[in-house]
Amino acid sequence: MKLTLSKWGNSLAVRIPAKTIDSLKLEAGDKIELQLKDGGMFLKKEESTIDIFEKFYGKPFSEITLDDIGPAKEIDWGEDVGGEVL
């Protein structure tokens, strides 16, 4: 997909096509992470805590119950990946 850079104040901007917005479920105000890699740019929607919970438990946030969380009423964030301080 080819896009055109436009001037926006002292910066440059790119318009994201509506089909892309719909397919990625983006909304105005969403936080986007920009990564530079191999001479290019990669944009990724920042995940909210609710998004993380839904992925981990495999169901909508509104359907997550204390039974899912377990008797200790603590949330399992998965395996440590390094540098965590509890």
Average pLDDT of adjacent 10-residue blocks, the chain of 86 residues: 93 93 89 91 86 88 84 71 69
pLDDT of 51 = 83
CATH number (2.170.190.11, 2.10.260.10, 3.20.20.80, 2.30.42.10) of 1-69 reads 2.10.260.10
pLDDT of 48 = 82
pLDDT of 6 = 96
pLDDT of 70 = 74
Closest CA to 47 of 37, 33, 61, 36: 33
Identify whether the C-beta of residue 52 lies closer than 8 Å to the C-beta of residue 43: no
Residues forming beta bridges with residue 15, ordered by sequence position: none
CA distances from 59 to 16, 23, 55, 70, 74 (A): 29, 19, 7, 16, 18
pLDDT of 11 = 96
pLDDT of 10 = 95
